Homo-oligomer: A and B are copies of this chain.
Amino acid sequence: MQPKQILREHVAKIATLTDEEFDNFFSRFELQSFKKGQTIIAAGDSVRREYFVLSGCLKSFYINDDLKMFILQFAMPTWWTSDFNALYSGEKATISVDCITDAEVLSLTNESREALCREIHQAEHFFRWRTNKGYVASQKRLLSMMNNDVKHRYEELMAQYPELYQIVPKQLIAAYLGVSRETLSRLHH
C-alpha cells in the first residue's frame, strides 16, 4: 500500500478530512528511509520532527548516567514517535530514537503540525486523540510497572505485541520492562 493511503486510513479512524484537506495534510509530510541501526534522534539534538512509522520497527529510549538503557516505546507501523518533550518545548533531546530494523517513515516538523492544526480543525482533532491514546497507554504502563512483577509485565507485553518476540533482541525487551537481561533470561525456569 502507498504511504499516502496508509496515513489516510490511519487518520480516517479518528478524523474526517475532505480530499483537499487530506492532500494538504499529506503534503506536509516527508518520506524517509532508514537502515537498521541508524539513529534518527540522538540525545542532545534539537528535535524538529515527529515520525509516523510505515514499515519496520523503531525504538525510543533513554540512557542514564550509568549507560543503562530504558526503552519508552517500540514504534511499529502506524505508530508515532519522537522525543515529544523536546519537540514541544524546544529543549534538547533527552530521548533518542533509532531503528531496530530497516524502516520507512513519514516525518512532520513541529511547525507543520501546528500549521495543520491551525488550518484544519479536524487535524487538531486528530492530534488531540492521538496524544490522548498515548497518555492513557502511558498511565496504564506506569500502573503495571508499580503493580506487577517482571514475569507478569513480560507476559502482558508478549500478549499485546507477539510480533516483538521475533523482531526484537531480548535485551531490548528487558530494557523496555525495566529489568536486567539476566533476570529476563531466567524467567522461563
Binding site for B on A (CB under 8 A): 62, 64, 68, 70, 72, 84-85, 88, 117, 121, 124-125, 127-128, 131-132, 134-136, 138-143, 145-147, 178
Residues of B within 8 A of A88 (CB): 132, 136
> Looking at the complex, which one of B68, B84, B121, B142 makes contact with A124 (CB distance below 8 Å)?
B121
The 9 closest A-B pairs by CB, nearest first: A146-B178, A128-B128, A135-B135, A138-B138, A85-B136, A70-B146, A124-B124, A131-B131, A121-B121
User: How far, in Å, is A149 (CB) from chain B's closest CB?
Assistant: 12
Assess whether B117 is in contact with A147, with CB atoms less than 8 Å apart.
Answer: no
What would be 17 A-B contacts, judged by CB atoms less than 8 Å apart? A62-B143, A62-B147, A64-B147, A70-B146, A70-B147, A84-B132, A84-B139, A117-B125, A117-B128, A121-B121, A134-B135, A135-B135, A138-B138, A141-B142, A145-B145, A145-B146, A146-B178
Assess whether B85 is in contact with A143, with CB atoms less than 8 Å apart.
Answer: no
